[in-house]
Chains A and B, each alone.
Chain A
Amino acid sequence: AQSVTQPDIHITVSEGASLELRCNYSYGATPYLFWYVQSPGQGLQLLLKYFSGDTLVQGIKGFEAEFKRSQSSFNLRKPSVHWSDAAEYFCAVGDNFGNEKLTFGTGTRLTIIP
Chain B
Amino acid sequence: GAGVSQSPSNKVTEKGKDVELRCDPISGHTALYWYRQSLGQGLEFLIYFQGNSAPDKSGLPSDRFSAERTGGSVSTLTIQRTQQEDSAVYLCASSLAGLEGETQYFGPGTRLLVL
Contacts and interface: CB of A to CB of B under 8 A. Distances in A.
A107 B42 contact: yes
Interface residues of B, number: 28
B12 interface: no
B108 to A, nearest CB: 5
Given A41-B108, A42-B108, A43-B107, A101 B100 contact: no
Interface in B14-53: 31, 33, 35, 42-45, 48, 50
B104 interface: yes
Interface size on A, as a range, is 20 to 34
B106 A51 contact: no
Interface string A51-93: 1000000000000000000000000000000000000001010
A105 B43 CA distance: 8
Interface of B: 4, 31, 33, 35, 42-45, 48, 50, 56, 58-59, 91, 93, 95, 98-109
